[in-house]
């Protein structure tokens, strides 16, 4: 099978899973039905397996280095998100996350084959274990921050619905506001630590391999700004100075900055060339 088909197949399976969740919620059916969750788990396990197979067939890892393109980076980050969603299904059930996350995952998987740089000269070839560790840590940080951002979106929607006293079936499918905020803050903590680790491994790699720091690049600057915003949020949360709504808004700002730090700028450059 052509490697380019693996990601669309995973995307179609994920899109079907999203349809099942939306259909169930809009019909007012319970989202915690054991058979339904088992079906969803099976479908998403299959979609994750197709994504993993597509990445493996792209052969990003050789005996000497990791060959990273925009395609492999997007696929790897998406795979991490899929795995975390599966873990969430095991631990917490559906809880409304799949309503918003699965359609986005499906779209990403469907467009991966048409992304530029699929083996072009602008790809990244790692030069050391430190460089490889930096790239993989960065992808994991993107994935965790993605989960944090989707929890922030749900938090904003739920908070607004409760204030307006308009409880739509979609809102009913979400976890309680307090529990949702707790999950969001836990993911926020992990995001801060992983972004810090990604920045640190990047700086150590630059120093070990090149004996200098390339601090004034769009990637480093945007990542540092995003890290500063998220750290600032944690500081205010420890002081209980802000309520969840403002925290959710700033999480989305930091997420947009992180997306621009790699995917956005590289995508624009690739299309301009």
Tens digits of residue pLDDT in 174-218: 888 888 888 898 999 999 999 999 888 888 877 777 666 666 667
C-alpha distances in angstroms, 10 versus 24, 38, 260? 21, 18, 25
Q: 97, 22 in Cβ contact below 8 A?
A: no
Q: Which of 120, 139, 163 is the last residue of a domain?
A: 120
What is the tally of structural domains in the chain? 2
C-alpha distances in angstroms, 217 versus 93, 221, 231? 41, 6, 21
Residue 177, pLDDT score: 83
Residues 79 and 144 in one domain: no
Tens digits of residue pLDDT in 105-142: 999 999 988 876 544 444 555 556 777 788 888 889 99
Residues 74 and 142 in one domain: no
Count other Cβ atoms within 10 Å, centred on residue 15.
19
Residues 6+ apart with CB under 8 A from 239: none
Residues 51 and 101 in one domain: yes
Residues 112 and 208 in one domain: no
Dump the DSSP string for 135-166.
Answer: HHHHHHHHHHHHHHHHHHHHHHHHHHHHHHT-
Residues 208 and 91 in one domain: no
Residues 143 and 256 in one domain: yes
Residue 94, pLDDT score: 60
Residues 69 and 182 in one domain: no
Residues 139 and 270 in one domain: yes
Percentage of the chain modeled with pLDDT above 70: 78
Helix (H) or strand (E) holding 1: none
Residue located via tokens 């989202």: 31
Residues 135 and 90 in one domain: no
Q: Which of 120, 152, 182 is the last residue of a domain?
A: 120
Burial string for 215-238 (b: 16+ CB within 10 Å, else e) reads eeeeebebbebbbebbeebeeebe
Confidence of residue 47 (pLDDT cuts 50, 70, 90): very high
Residues 102 and 206 in one domain: no
Residue 219, pLDDT score: 75
Q: 150, 88 in Cβ contact below 8 A?
A: no
Residues 110 and 176 in one domain: no
- Residue 170: is its pLDDT beyond 90? no
Residues 103 and 137 in one domain: no
- Residue 26: is its pLDDT beyond 90? no
Phi, psi of 68 (to 5 degrees): -110, 125
Q: Which of 97, 120, 143 is the last residue of a domain?
A: 120
- Residue 31: is its pLDDT beyond 60? no
The C-alpha angle with vertex 260 and arms to 130 and 83, in degrees rounded to 5, equals: 65
Count other Cβ atoms within 10 Å, centred on residue 181.
22
Average pLDDT over the chain reads 82
Domain of residue 89 covers 1-120
């Amino acid at each position: 099978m052509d490697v380019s088909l693996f990601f669309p197949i995973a995307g179609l399976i994920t899109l079907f899973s999203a349809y099942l969740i939306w259909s169930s919620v809009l019909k007012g059916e319970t989202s915690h039905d054991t058979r339904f969750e088992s079906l969803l788990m099976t479908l998403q396990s299959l979609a994750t397996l197709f994504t993993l197979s597509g990445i493996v067939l792209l052969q990003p890892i050789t005996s000497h280095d990791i060959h990273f393109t925009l395609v492999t980076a997007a696929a790897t980050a998406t795979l991490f998100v899929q795995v975390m969603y599966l873990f969430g299904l095991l631990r917490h059930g559906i809880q409304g996350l799949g309503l918003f996350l699965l359609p986005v995952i499906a779209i990403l998987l469907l467009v991966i084959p048409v992304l530029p740089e699929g083996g072009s000269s602008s790809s990244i070839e790692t030069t050391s274990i430190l460089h490889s560790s930096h790239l993989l840590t960065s992808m994991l940080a993107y994935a965790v921050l993605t989960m944090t951002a989707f929890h922030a979106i749900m938090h904003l929607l739920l908070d607004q619905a409760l204030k307006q006293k308009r409880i739509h079936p979609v809102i009913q499918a979400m976890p309680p506001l307090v529990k949702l905020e707790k999950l969001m803050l836990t993911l926020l903590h992990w995001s801060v630590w992983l972004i810090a680790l990604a920045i640190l491994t990047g700086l150590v790699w630059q120093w070990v391999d090149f004996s200098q720091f390339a601090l004034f690049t769009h990637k480093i600057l945007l990542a540092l700004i995003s890290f500063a915003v998220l750290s600032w949020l944690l500081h205010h949360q420890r002081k209980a100075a802000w309520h969840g709504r403002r925290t959710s808004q700033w999480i989305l700002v930091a997420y947009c900055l992180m997306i621009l730090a790699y995917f956005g700028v590289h995508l624009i450059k690739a299309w301009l060339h």
